[in-house]
Amino acid sequence: MEIHIENLKFAWPHSDFRLEIPRLNIGSGQSIAIVGPSGSGKSTFLNLLAGMLPPLSGNLRIHGASLSGMSDHQRRAFRQDNIGFVFQDFKLVDYLNVTDNILTPWRLKESGASIDKPMRDRLEHLITQLGLKPFIHRPIQRLSQGEQQRVAIARALCLKPGLILADEPTGNLDPSNKTLVRDLLKQEASQLKATLVMVTHDRDLVDRFDRVIDFATFQPKQPLTTPAS
């Protein structure tokens, strides 16, 4: 799933923060590591890609679809169909156990159907791959940070998305698990022929990615005009 960005601008109202990307193209199936100092807009960029934030101006096209021209409802539908997102703070649902958390995107999409065999196989595959088998029925609160991280990754991969966005998915893991999660994401993305965009602070992990983008280069010199101002 290719991404084309042209003159993309974003700024938070009543804030000095601003993000300006003159041009950026990411090819289908590529794996991209995004690095940069805190506050440089890495997480904001992922939110823009996921359609959770509307850009201030510019053009953002994913797989030919222009997110800039979509309504909130259309962006949500597009995200549901095409994007898997691993949030920095997981955003797992506290009243669901591990299995149900992983199945949440499927439940929201296939609302009327019962779980079919391909979905059961997919669930089994993810649980095995991410080492979640011992606690599939455990409540989320009783998992460690690392375990919750893996559940969040499994949920993002559940519907075989064409674009995987991961916001510091290795932030809470020990060094060996960091490499494991990165490799798993890369491997899944490769199997699905999906584009992977991963934000990380850890420069040791970026060597296996196709490209590394440093967001320090996207800090504009002049402030942008925000809708509120």
Binding footprint of another protein on the chain (CB under 8 A): 94-96, 100, 104, 107-108, 110-114
End-to-end C-alpha distance for the chain, whole angstroms: 35
Between CA 34 and CA 20 the distance in angstroms is 15
Q: Shortest Cβ distance from residue 154 to another protein (Å)? A: 18
Angstrom distances, CA of residue 189 to CA of 27, 67, 108: 13, 22, 22
By C-beta, is 140 or 184 nearer to another protein? 140
By C-beta, is 22 or 139 nearer to another protein? 139
With contact defined as beta carbons under 8 Å apart, do 152 and 169 qualify?
Answer: yes
Q: Shortest Cβ distance from residue 108 to another protein (Å)? A: 7
By C-beta, is 95 or 221 nearer to another protein? 95
By C-beta, is 158 or 196 nearer to another protein? 158
Side by side, the strands of the sheet bearing 83-86 are: 83-86, 163-167, 195-199, 31-35, 211-214
Q: Shortest Cβ distance from residue 178 to another protein (Å)? A: 32
- State how beta strands 163-167 and 3-11 pair: unpaired
Q: Shortest Cβ distance from residue 193 to another protein (Å)? A: 28
Angstrom distances, CA of residue 27 to CA of 111, 163, 170, 200, 218: 32, 11, 24, 20, 20
Q: Shortest Cβ distance from residue 184 to another protein (Å)? A: 27
By C-beta, is 100 or 214 nearer to another protein? 100
